[in-house]
Amino acid sequence: MKFSLYLFGNFLKSFTLITIGSVLVFGIIDFVGNIKMWLLRGMGQVAEYYLNYLPYIIYLVSPVALMLTAIASIGAMARHLEISAMQGAGRGPFRILLPALATGVVITILLFAIGEIILPDANYRRLEIAETRMEQRKNPRIKEKHQFIFIGSDHSDWYFKYYNGVEKKGEQISIVLQDNGKPIARYDAKKIEWVDTSASWVLFDGWARYFSQNGDLTAYKFNTLDIKKQTSVLPEDIINERQSHEEMSAKQISRRIEILKRSGEETQKMETQWHFKYSGPVTALVTLIIALSLSHKYKRGGSLSQQFGIGIIMTFSYYIVVRVGLQMGENGILEPWLGAWIGHIIYGTVALAMLFRSFRL
């Protein structure tokens, strides 16, 4: 137990220091690379940009930091024969490495949580700050629309004269609810507004009409009407400013795919990125297993720099295969799930084979 805590403490301390160092190096390189842009911006914008960029940097560098940590801390313990001493005391190699593997699993879960909870909003704000005026004119984020129709997933048709996606308000709105192609209700209002506190749409100054199965019509005028129970449409379904998968969670991507399918648009890219939301964090665990297989056993004549070299080559080749798989999935060459997972399947199998082979040697 004491050895496990000792190994866990060493591993966690090394991982923290290496992660902090990697984040600082990454940030400095990015700042210098964008120095022309920052010279035209205020310090407040620069600080806000990197504050929002920080979670994404941690997400990106964590797999490499885990690999470097394993080789540095576990490799050093192997070179000092601490692991050999524990094996001589009757502990198996898997049990010895269990604290490091458990840390890798926890970090993988945390990376997924960061990707779902923190990154979407942070990346959205970061990319908005980074956009130049020329980019905004060339590829503007849609914030409002005039005279358009939206088809909801709940068999509802929405007719807008005007809608503002930032304020979540619209004017001159008509909503038709259907059941098996037959209208069951219609709402016409001067204004519509999304209320965050109740998570519902509220109509103002209009008429509500209900159609019975035998053709009878019931109509009444209202000043305000909450239609939360009548529709499941959300503001981001109507206008979605978040055009990149980096700005969306898996749930938001899933809703976006449904909307694109209803519009008859291509969803291959979004489906691949939805699967990658789940497969991406696995990179951290796979790189850790590769590093442990290289470093936990003492080899006479084997140097730490050699282990670093092999680990870095394997890690970056792993990244390349993952990116190639994603491109193939997005372009329709592979199924979306396979494009997102193929790199992890290949290198995960190789990593496990390397680890069990190192146990037998």
State the 10-residue block means of pLDDT for the chain, 361 residues long. 74 89 92 85 87 94 91 78 69 79 92 93 86 50 79 83 89 90 90 91 94 83 91 82 80 84 80 94 94 75 71 90 94 94 95 85 55
CA–CA distance, 174 with 186 (Å, rounded to integer): 7
Q: What share of the chain is helix, strand, coil (3-state, %, to 5)?
A: 60, 20, 20
Provide the pLDDT for residue 89: 67
pTM of the model: 0.76
Provide the pLDDT for residue 35: 86
The residue with tokens 């209002």 is 189
Provide the pLDDT for residue 138: 44
Provide the pLDDT for residue 303: 64
CA–CA distance, 203 with 138 (Å, rounded to integer): 35
Whole-angstrom CA distances from 87 to 1, 70, 120 are 14, 18, 45
| 167 φ/ψ angles, rounded to the nearest 5 degrees | -85, -15
Provide the pLDDT for residue 247: 86
Burial annotation 182-219 (CB, 10 A radius, 16+ → b, else e): eebbbbbbebbbbeeeeeebbbbebebeebeeeeeeee
Q: Which of 343, 342, 340, 345 is nearest to 273 (CA)?
A: 340
CA–CA distance, 325 with 334 (Å, rounded to integer): 8
Provide the pLDDT for residue 265: 74
Tokens read off for 242:
């978040």
